[in-house]
Structure 1
Amino acid sequence: MQYDETCLEYFLAHQEQLLPEPVAETMEEAEEFLEDCMAVVCMNLKEVKAYFEDQGADIEGMSLRDLEEASEVFALPDGRYLIVEA
């Protein structure tokens, strides 16, 4: 998957949301990390929910707001969502 500049810049700036220590310092390192994790970009929260359901995650009882606040879900400034499962 190709990650655009918005995804990479946002992940670089907010990676501590997911991990206690930075895993990337450059756009290239961020892209490598996201590729290694097989990160997914979703267009909206319904796609985020569908992704977790497809992965077999136990999200029963979680609202869309709960999913949006999960540490592995990054709300991108353009309205999309980046899911990074490290």
Structure 2
Amino acid sequence: MNYDQAVLQTFLDQQLQLLPEKIAYDLEEADAFLSDCFAVVVKNIKEVQQYFEDEGLDISQMSLADLEQAQEVFKIADGRYLIVET
């Protein structure tokens, strides 16, 4: 997947919500890490929900707000979401 600058910058700025220490220090490193993790960008929070359901995760007790706060979910300024599973 080709990640645009907004996605890469969001991950760079917020990577510590998922990881104990920084692993990416520039856009190129962020792109490489996200590619290695097969990170996904979706259009909205409903697609985040659908992604987790398709992956077989039991999220039946989670609200959309809960999903938005999940450590694997990064909200991009334009309303999209980045999902990074390590």
**Structure 2: which amino acid aligns with 1:7?**
V
**Counterpart Cα distance in 1 of 2:17 and 2:76:** 13
Q: Given the two structures, how large is their TM-score scaled by the length of structure 2?
A: 0.97
Task: String of CA shifts for 1:8-30, please: whole Å, max 9, x gaps.
Answer: 01100110010010010111100
Moved over 2 A (4+): none
5+ residue gaps in structure 1? none
The SS at the match of 1:30 is helix
1:58 deviates by 1.5
1:62 deviates by 0.6
**Structure 2: which amino acid aligns with 1:71?**
Q
Task: Calculate the aligned-residue CA RMSD, in Å.
Answer: 0.6
**Structure 1: which amino acid aligns with 2:61?**
G
Matched, 1:6 2:9: no
Q: Percent identity?
A: 60
5+ residue gaps in structure 2? none
Matched, 1:68 2:65: no
**Count of aligned pairs:** 86
